[in-house]
Amino acid sequence: MALAEAGARGRLLRWPRVLLFGDSITEYSFQENGWGTYLAERLVRKCDVVNRGISGYNTRWAKLILPRLITESTSADSIVAVTIFFGANDSALKELNPKQHIPLEEYAANLKSMVQYLKSVDITADRIILITPPPLQESAWEKACLAKGDKLNRCNATTGQYAQACVQVARECGTDVLDLWTLMQKNEDFSSYLSDGLHLSTKGNSFLAAQLWSCLENKLSALPSLLPYWRDVDHTNPEASLL
């Protein structure tokens, strides 16, 4: 059978998608032992995990990009889950990092705007997961800043205010939320979750992956495996199994 004829007989295979939208903590999630890699491995043959992490970005910039990533006409119907994971940059101290800093009230409004946009393209609240920024280990991050000739430009108490705002937005919008800031600090030595005081270590990636999977598992458990297991393919008539 010619390929063109096979294509005409079989319906187009479309993998559902999980979209990870965030800053560097999302961008780095596909590195070795990253939380995005963990999700992709768990969901292989069920859906694609798409990394749309953009290092250094805040919610002011993110809300401008989101409609360019997802539109109702081209992609929203294939998305089974979206994570929105911003705040580590928004919560930077204004006087020391004015380019990335976003005022707390605007941060909350931007998150709400992004959730409302997703709803407007028919991505329902039950498919949206907000993730708060993780806690900041100030002494380690200060070393990273000093190495670049900068002063400590974030503090954990301020990051916590942004995390609380994220939780409140999720409550108001009816979405799930993963309060990473609070969950990680249940461990007294939360520094082990962080590689440089801000970004996730291998342990932090594993922690986030496990927490996020507990949110996603019920949402995605009904997704079928795409294409039959190889032993179930009729080798004498593969077209019957595969088209």
Positions marked active-site: 24, 196, 199
User: Rounded distance, CA 176 to CA 159, Å?
Assistant: 20
Is 193 in contact with 203 (CB distance < 8 Å)?
yes
